[in-house]
Amino acid sequence: MSITAEIRVGDKTLPLPVIVGTEQEVGLDIQALRDKTGAVTFDPGYGNTGACESAVTFLDGELGILRYRGYPIEQLAGKVSFLEVSWLLLKGELPNAAELAAFTAAEKAHRALPAHVHAIIAAFPADAHPMAILSAATLSLSSTYLADEKVTEAGLNKSQLLLLAQFPTIAAAIYRKGKGLAAVAPDAKLAYSANFLHMMFEGTGNAAAGDPEIAKALDLLLILHADHEQNCSTSTVRLVGSAQTDYFASIAAGITALWGPLHGGANQAVIEMLDGIVAHGGDVNWAVAQAKDKDSSFRLMGFGHRVYKNFDPRATIIKVQADVVLGKLGKNDPQLGIAKGLEEAALKDEYFVARKLYPNVDFYSGIIYRALGFPYGLFTVLFAIGRLPGWTAHWNEHNAGKAKIGRPRQIYTGKNARDVVELSKR
């Protein structure tokens, strides 16, 4: 593909180098724009700004495509484990049998938390949000493992393995603290997601603990959330890391970015919306009408996406999984019926069709998490567990190159220069 570009600012014309990605995405290199013309681009929300080149994930919002390292999400989901996907994102290729065995053994060997992390979790108030605790616990791990990280690449790899192994242990300890229950030690005989369910629900009577099918479903959910290109939290991890901030602090920053209801907290917002519809008698038509009424405060959560302009490929996979999980647990959840009714009504309504408001991954994930017994506040923590390998892959990629420290520009719209007036004359 032969492409040339130039930009004219006043009487100055600047030729722009053109970057073409492997999927024929076109980017205009404007790094010299300000130096040569005095102008900067204006792009609130960075929706049209390519901040980096990346080989981790490809996303086409127009066609509904999501690929990790070239592999379609539809092929990965249900065919490989979350640890295999983690290795893929971190290393660039799916592991062979020997690599997977060694990686799995190492993950199992490092699941236990340092004593000070348990103390930090215990010190939080009972009503503290789990994401606040997760961020603090993650940040505290730098005091334990950062010495290794600074010495060698092997030390950094170890730090990243430790966090992958300990994220579920932290999440389970947060949950059990909130329930007034003692933490459950990790079980090295169990696979990643099965061990997480064990640490969460052992001794509580929850049927999810010890059920291999439920563990497999959770593993799939983690895979669907493992990476999603340059989203808010991933961009935050890269931006913070660009200051040569350590790995744990960069991930902690990503956690706080994910916390927001417009990002990782969206699945909780979907459940709260469905609760509101239940309170109105489960009337789907009422909800659709409210969503279309510009004067209504009601918002239809879980539909549409900042990037996907048609369907979210993850939503198709997770919808099937919702039926499987609820069927397995024997739960007749009225919210699932409302969710399906909303989807059907919205897909037939011209208002939603014209705006391409299709269900996204958050629409069904919250229903599954609630069915499994996770409290609402923990939904975003589960998102973080799934997203950790993606964050890590992007942090590694950004810091492996000669990346500059992130420093966006602005268009100043404040007061012009003026003099300070003495206090008595103001």
Which residues are catalytic, by number?
305, 362
Q: Which residues contact 23 (CB under 8 A, 6 or more apart)?
A: 58, 60
Contact status, residue 333 vs residue 367, Cβ threshold 8 Å: yes
- Rounded to 10°, the helix 379-400/247-258 angle is 140
Tell me how far apart the alpha carbons of residues 328 and 322 are, in angstroms, rounded to a whole number.
10
Both tokens assigned to 82: 């979350």
Contact status, residue 264 vs residue 255, Cβ threshold 8 Å: no
Closest CA to 201 of 219, 166, 176: 176
Q: Is 424 exposed, middle or buried (0-12, 13-18, 19+ CB in 10 A)?
A: exposed
Tell me how far apart the alpha carbons of residues 205 and 184 are, in angstroms, rounded to a whole number.
14
Tell me how far apart the alpha carbons of residues 85 and 224 are, in angstroms, rounded to a whole number.
10
Contact status, residue 214 vs residue 328, Cβ threshold 8 Å: yes
Tell me how far apart the alpha carbons of residues 381 and 135 are, in angstroms, rounded to a whole number.
10
**Largest Cα–Cα distance in the chain?**
79
Both tokens assigned to 243: 């200051």
Q: What is the DSSP string of 22-84?
A: TT--EEE--TTHHHHHS-----GGGTT------SSEEEETTTTEEEETTEEHHHHTTTS-HHH
Tell me how far apart the alpha carbons of residues 233 and 256 are, in angstroms, rounded to a whole number.
8
Q: Is 125 exposed, middle or buried (0-12, 13-18, 19+ CB in 10 A)?
A: exposed
The number of residues in the chain equals 426
